[in-house]
Amino acid sequence: MLNMGAVTRGEKGEHVAKEPDVVRIKREKRERRVDPAPAGMTRRRFLTFLGAGSAALTAGSTGVLSTGQEGGGVRSAAAAAAQTSGGGAEAFFTPIEPTDEDDLILPEGFRYDVVRKWGDQITEDAPYGYNNDYVAYFPIDALNGGQSSQDGILWVNHEYADPKWVSEYQDGEKTPEQIAEEKAAVGGSVFRIQKSGDNWEFVEDDQYNRRIDATTPMDLTGPAAGSEEMEGADEVIGTLANCGGGVTPWNTVLTCEENFQDYYGASSDATETSRYRWNDDSDNAQPPEHYGWIAEIDPFDPESKPRKHTWLGRLRHENAAVTLSESGKVVVYTGHDQEDQRIYKFVSTGTYDPGNREANLDLLTDGMLYVANFSNGRWVALDYENNPIFSDNGFTSQADVLVRAPEAVAIQEGEDEEDVIGTPLDRCEDIEVASDGTVYAALTNNAKHGNFYGQILRITEAGNDPTAEEFAFEVFAAGGPQTGFASPDNLAFDRNDNLWIVTDMSSDKLNEGIYETFKNNGAFFMPAGTAGIGGDVFQFASGPVQSELTGPFFTPDGSTLFLAVQHPGEETKDTNEPTSTWPDGDIPRPAVVAITGFA
């Protein structure tokens, strides 16, 4: 399985001993031809036809559209479906219909195990957190080049705590005890799982089992470490708002802090009370600038200290998609999940060494961060030393640019008000890199510009080189009634390059208005080689009431799909009358599940 949030999720163990698959594939694949848009088809007309709503993309974008492909190993939908299932797409699974049932609904022949849920323990002293999100599976033998699909370590993000369930908070000032309970419910869980027969089971008291939460000490790396903007800190306390993530070729996990502003506020200059009221008590409050980063955690070393890498920028990170250039540079794509925000990529200074894991652990500590400008198809370096536009606009150092990255990329660089460094987009929630090197970005929606259904962009780097400074792009698929899904969120590629999509329609809008026909949030399957309107999209799963399905991740052999069921019953007002009772029939409990039946 290749590149589901990392370089090669299914083949990652091989990076220890031999040439990475991503490098091999790029070396072997033929040159791709990127043709310009046909005469008479303007970008505005093209995107309007597809139903795309990114204001910046429809407003004078001049990047090249990819309207045809040669080579690259892109198979037809029929060939992909046949390889996956031994027949047509319908033979692989019988697609389900949209449903509003309070259960995880799967096609006939598939089943799920609840591996861990809120209320379970990870260790004797550490509970499984709340609202699980990103999921990553590491074969237990990965460091030795193995690819076990029956025994491994699972990493699960915990994005946020719902106070009415976690701490029984209702109103007024929170007690220190309530804040402590909520701090213990965020961050991430690391634990061993094994397959016994047809069932996946949690391994009690395993050496790898541990919790990372809002109280875990973490080091800082990069220009912001020890800087004035970080109040001189080179160590911070905890991680929170952990939404998406990624996996590195050296088998560590990257966990992304998204809505950090909800906990201690957006910045030290702000005085407002945060959503979760963690900053009410000065003894409890932490500097807001210590959050909004991407943290790296080694699941194979329980004694290792997590690190936040400041070269990847401070923003509302939704994901970290890792790939390698042919020269061995590490590239990390990440998106800012907010209306009218941007897509970024980090390029390392050092190069990956498949035989030196210890050296690879420092690859994200030095490099350069870029932001995408779609109007001219260029990556713009956030380089304080070599670009005077930052100092001319009040930024004082490289650390300042990284700490205030969303402000830096919004600097106007031309006479036109819309001529800014980075192009505003429609809530980039996830980015994944396909085995042929193309980059897929899920833009969930943007009500400000009438984009209620969202779309998926496909980005092709110049020369198929992820370190390139130029790129082309196109709208790969648009959400809406014509495709059957709305608000694409997390993406994943399986071992046959089929695309899996999970959706994130807001809980308070499900089953009504323009979203009525979609019913609950779900998971969808798009065979390799299909794209856009008219492409084959099949619904594979439907989540419980008011939930979203997150973090799709396959085992290396493709036999198990891990999904996190997040915030079932989210619109519950009275805990005595929950709107969902999944999975135990009493109260809603977020849980991570293992889905089998793919063999």
Helix (H), strand (E), coil (C) string for 326-356: CCCEEEEEEEECCEEECEEEEEEEEECCCCC
Q: How many CB atoms lie within 10 A of CB 28?
A: 8
Task: Look at the chain and report how many structural domains it folds into.
Answer: 1
Is residue 136 situated within a structural domain? yes
Compute φ and ψ for 444, nearest 5 degrees.
-70, -50
> d(Cα 587, Cα 417) in Å, to the nearest integer?
50
> d(Cα 476, Cα 483) in Å, to the nearest integer?
12
> d(Cα 157, Cα 129) in Å, to the nearest integer?
8
Q: What is the pLDDT of residue 430?
A: 96
For the stretch 166-219, pLDDT in tens is 999 998 889 999 999 999 999 999 999 999 999 999 999 999 999 999 999 999
**CA–centroid distance for 500 within its chain:** 13
Is residue 3 situated within a structural domain? no
Is residue 374 situated within a structural domain? yes
Q: What is the pLDDT of residue 274?
A: 85
Contact 289, 236 (CB under 8 A): no
For the stretch 109-145, pLDDT in tens is 999 999 999 999 999 999 999 999 999 999 999 999 9
String of DSSP letters for 521-555: -EEEEE-TT--STTS--EEEEEPSTT-EEEEEEE-
Residues recorded for the chain: 599
String of DSSP letters for 48-113: HHHT---HHHHTT--PPP-----STTPPPHHHHHHHHHSS-HHHH--PPPP---SS-B--TT-EEE
Give me the CATH number covering residue 92.
Answer: 2.120.10.30
B/e letters for 180-194, b = 16+ CB within 10 Å, e = fewer, are: ebbbbbbbbbbbbbe
For the stretch 388-443, pLDDT in tens is 999 999 999 999 999 999 999 999 988 787 789 999 999 999 999 999 999 999 99
Regions of the chain short of the pLDDT cut 50: 1-91, 532-534
Q: What is the pLDDT of residue 414?
A: 80
User: pTM for the complete prediction?
Assistant: 0.86
| Boundaries of domain holding 225 | 12-573+583-596
Strand partners, 341: 425
**CA–centroid distance for 59 within its chain:** 27
Is residue 578 situated within a structural domain? no
Is residue 67 situated within a structural domain? yes
Q: What is the pLDDT of residue 30?
A: 30
Is residue 478 situated within a structural domain? yes
Q: What is the pLDDT of residue 183?
A: 97
Is residue 5 situated within a structural domain? no
Q: What is the pLDDT of residue 415?
A: 78
Contact 434, 494 (CB under 8 A): no
Q: What angle do CA 212, 153, 306 make, to 5 degrees?
A: 30
Q: What is the pLDDT of residue 296?
A: 98
Is residue 248 situated within a structural domain? yes
